[in-house]
Structure 1
Amino acid sequence: MALSDLTDWLGEFCAPGIALCVKRLSGNDTLANGTHQAGPYIPKEFLFRIFPTINRTDEKNPVYWFELAVDSHLDVRKVRAVYYNSKRFEGKANGRDETRLTNFGGGASALLDAESTGALSIFAFPLNDNGAAIGCHVWVCRNEVEEDTAEERFGPVEPGRFIMWSPEQPGLFPPFAAGPAKCWLDPGDIPPTWVAKFPTGAEIVRKAVELRAEHGMPPDKRLLRRRECEFEIFRSVEAAVEFPAIHAGFTNLDDFISRAQTVLQRRKARSGRSLELHTREILIEEQFREGTDFQHGPQSEPGKRPDFLFPSQAAYRDPTFPAARLRMLATKTTCRDRWRQVINEADRIPVKHLLTLQEGVSEAQFHEMTQAKVQLVVPEPLMAKYPASIRTDIMTLESFLGDLRLLVPGAP
């Protein structure tokens, strides 16, 4: 299918009377990490609305069967929405309490194919007059160009988050992520200067560090906790800035489109820089000296700017400085297609370290990265979403920092 097919598909299914759920497939959704209950996880608050008959605890694991078409891959099959309710039905402390779509027939489905791990996927559920789903159409983005096209419509979609919309819901569902950080700022807590001029990403990250210092917490968990906090801060400031304009209304359609594009571009900018800025804060807190032990946003060669060089740009450009003591780190929220972008950064450094928040990769893609000398760095809490066979070959952020300490004389 051509890119125009996705554009036409979005035009058909982003429409009244259709409930949407947009997410990135994790290793727990696909067959990448060998989970027994493979199938896309969809939040309960969404599936219960469109499949109300599974919202019950007097029956174990209630299901609803329906037809699902993966239009991007020309695949149609009968699947089921299931509520795994053993935690509530049987009272098991370690039981399940989640909803998934299952019965896809194994890796033949693009939704279970390990190579789809990390792919942005759009689930569109046409609804009947009572607001119940009568089927589902899915698009699994096959490349970076398709993902960019989808995010032009929905905004950035990060690992572990969902964009959900239902016709009877006034606006989008609240952005979903496991474990709220509780960093939402009330209007009175937002600096007036932030309302007059939207704060920079660095300013919001610093506020997240202030609210979630977590200095006794390992850097991997600290990074993820702060990212959750920073996202809440961003959305609370966004609401304070944009709601007055929305409530005031627009005199013409062009003004409305212009405002919407501003919001979308701001969200994209935040998503693109957030992980990088949080990583810088972690490095400083871990007693690495900026300009001496690491450099943020340096130029390795003309036209090449890795996110971080260790120990510095000057050391990198000094031909007498041992290449074995140089490191670089790229930060990319998702890496399914984007990991190849780091291969040509910092020519003197053969192994490129890449920090990502993507929730899993396939074994085949990991081996492709390894052959290209890309070393994956993943926060420890996300490691369980990667295939067990490759976990020992993935670095955590803490282990990467430990490697740096061995290379940098005088480092903590």
Structure 2
Amino acid sequence: MPLAELTEWLSEFGGPSFIWCVKRLSGNDTLANGSHQAGPYLPKEFVFPIFPEIDRTDIKNPDRWIDISVQPCPDSRKVRLVYYNSKRHENKRNGRNETRLTNFGGSNSSLLDPESTGALTIFAFHLDESGRAFEAHIWVCQHETEEETVEDRIGPVEPSKWIVWSPDQPQKSLFQPSLARRSSCWLELNEIPHAWLSTFPTGAEVVEKAVTLRSDSHLTPDQRLVKRRECEFEIFRSIEQALELPLIKEGFGSLDDFILRAQTVLQRRKARSGNSLELHARAIFIEEQLQEGNHFAHGRQSEPGKRPDFLFPSQSAYRDPTYPADKLRMLAAKTTCRDRWRQILREADRIDTKHLLTLQEGISEAQFKEMVDAKVQLVVPAPLIEKFPKSVRPYLQTFESFIADVRLLALERHG
């Protein structure tokens, strides 16, 4: 698919009468895990202002039928936007309280295709003069290049997060990375270290702050990883807002000045998204009594020009031809893996099975088989495993299990 088609789509549906909700499709959005909830979830905080007629609890599951078109695999139909409100309407304990788009035609829809799980997807809603939506245009990214094109414009989008973007109000959209409510990790201005208000902290410093606020030593490594990532995201957003929002409010002398500032913000977000997961993994390895330099190496070369995120037990062991190859491990940390998993196949030539830690919320059975055939072992935090197909779940390794395996190798080494 030529990239020009995406560029044209972004131009056509990126005008002042559109508002976007951008997210990565989970296994519960597509047909990947056989969920009866098939159909993409959209946050109520986004839906209700543009579809106020379904923001009600006096009737069960209020809905609205709207015209949609899905690209790049052409599909036009009427779909049902429904507010499942049983949690507030009748079943307060086990009910639902969410908004979804349904009636896409099942497996005939490219949006519900299991292979679309993990895909970056734009939901562009067309607004009338009163600000109410009356139709939607959807683009499901087909590969990493398309995703990079979108993220160059709006910033990185992580699993379970969404970005609301108003193409005609980029200044406002820049500081609405999600509609999630603030957590206790949000730092007020007086809680941010003074030095961070002049120079943005490094990723390692933000992760260290998250560890301080969420020590959670009683939790498993998997639970700590998920909770701290959420915490760190809030810390990052709060610092970013404290530094950048005053500049935005002051205004800019020219469009070029704004574009330059926006690019700085977006590049910082990309850097944070790219390094966050491995920094959290490193912190937990150390908490679990794995010594850097002795039990693992972080960011060291395996071969010239090849730098896996983690080598076990060390770079020197890896480069020692007498060290048994079956006692070596490598771990790559990638927030999403739909297209990026192939990048790790040549990161450590001596290691046959590559371990990949990911936060992606599901994967298709076909792509999982492709990974298995390529000898990639997925490592998934335990709280996310239920988002994968039932047939895949038994073959996933938790983060805690991976740490236990590495620890056992260390004991055998010194035994």
TM-score normalised by the chain length of structure 1: 0.97
* Residue 180 of structure 1: how far off its partner (Å): 5.0
- Please say if 1:35 is aligned against 2:8: no
- Please say if 1:371 is aligned against 2:373: yes
* Residue 165 of structure 1: how far off its partner (Å): 3.6
**CA contact under 8 A between 1:32 and 1:113: conserved in structure 2?**
yes
Structure-1 residue corresponding to 2:81: 81
- Please say if 1:171 is aligned against 2:172: yes
Which string of whole-angstrom CA distances, capped at 9 and with x for unpartnered residues, describes residues 271-329 of structure 1? 00000100000100000000000000010001000000000000001111111110000
Matched pairs, number: 412
Q: Secondary structure at the match of 2:402?
A: helix
Structure 2: unaligned runs, 5 residues or longer: none
Q: 2-side partners of 1:24 and 1:176: how far apart?
A: 13
Q: Secondary structure at the match of 2:148?
A: helix
**CA contact under 8 A between 1:405 and 1:411: conserved in structure 2?**
no
Structure-2 residue corresponding to 1:24: 24
Structure-2 residue corresponding to 1:231: 233
TM-score normalised by the chain length of structure 2: 0.96
Which string of whole-angstrom CA distances, capped at 9 and with x for unpartnered residues, describes residues 170-221 of structure 1? 8238443767542111111111211111110001100110111111111111
**CA contact under 8 A between 2:26 and 2:118: conserved in structure 1?**
yes
Tell me which moved more, 112-121 or 257-266: 257-266
**One-letter identity of the residue aligned with 2:295:** D
Q: 2-side partners of 1:196 and 1:160: how far apart?
A: 31
Distance 1:178 1:252, change over 3 A: closer
Structure-1 residue corresponding to 2:103: 103
Distance 1:332 1:25, change over 3 A: same
Q: 1-side partners of 2:413 and 2:235: how far apart?
A: 33
Q: 2-side partners of 1:165 and 1:258: how far apart?
A: 18
Q: Secondary structure at the match of 2:223?
A: helix
Structure-2 residue corresponding to 1:279: 281
* Residue 411 of structure 1: how far off its partner (Å): 9.1
Q: Secondary structure at the match of 1:235?
A: helix
Identical residues among aligned pairs (%) = 65
**One-letter identity of the residue aligned with 2:341:** W
Which string of whole-angstrom CA distances, capped at 9 and with x for unpartnered residues, describes residues 93-138 of structure 1? 1110100000001121111000000000000010112221111000
Structure-1 residue corresponding to 2:362: 360
Q: 1-side partners of 2:193 and 2:153: how far apart?
A: 31
Where has structure 1 moved over 6 Å in runs of 4 or more?
Answer: 167-170
**One-letter identity of the residue aligned with 1:111:** L
Which string of whole-angstrom CA distances, capped at 9 and with x for unpartnered residues, describes residues 14-71 of structure 1? 2211121000000000000000120000001111112211111111111111111002
Q: 1-side partners of 2:147 and 2:388: how far apart?
A: 22
Distance 1:95 1:411, change over 3 A: farther
Q: 2-side partners of 1:411 and 1:223: how far apart?
A: 27
Q: 2-side partners of 1:385 and 1:245: how far apart?
A: 40
Q: 2-side partners of 1:371 and 1:177: how far apart?
A: 39
Q: Secondary structure at the match of 2:406?
A: helix
Q: 2-side partners of 1:100 and 1:170: how far apart?
A: 28
Q: Which of 221, 224, 228 in structure 2 is aligned with 1:222? A: 224
**CA contact under 8 A between 1:287 and 1:411: conserved in structure 2?**
no
- Please say if 1:128 is aligned against 2:128: yes
**One-letter identity of the residue aligned with 1:24:** R
**CA contact under 8 A between 1:160 and 1:178: conserved in structure 2?**
no
Q: Secondary structure at the match of 1:157?
A: coil
Structure-2 residue corresponding to 1:50: 50
Q: 1-side partners of 2:412 and 2:188: how far apart?
A: 43
Q: 1-side partners of 2:394 and 2:73: how far apart?
A: 33
**CA contact under 8 A between 2:163 and 2:179: conserved in structure 1?**
no
| Map 1:241-260 → 2, pairs under 5 A | 241-260=243-262
**One-letter identity of the residue aligned with 2:292:** E
Structure-2 residue corresponding to 1:308: 310
| Map 1:141-156 → 2, pairs under 5 A | 141-156=141-156
Structure-2 residue corresponding to 1:328: 330
* Residue 254 of structure 1: how far off its partner (Å): 1.6
**One-letter identity of the residue aligned with 1:346:** A
Q: 2-side partners of 1:71 and 1:288: how far apart?
A: 47
Q: 2-side partners of 1:366 and 1:259: how far apart?
A: 40
Q: 1-side partners of 2:374 and 2:277: how far apart?
A: 23
Q: 1-side partners of 2:412 and 2:257: how far apart?
A: 56
Q: 2-side partners of 1:137 and 1:256: how far apart?
A: 28
| Map 1:67-78 → 2, pairs under 5 A | 67-78=67-78
Structure-1 residue corresponding to 2:160: 160
Instruction: Say what the alpha-carbon RMSD is for the aligned residues.
Output: 1.7
Structure 1: unaligned runs, 5 residues or longer: none
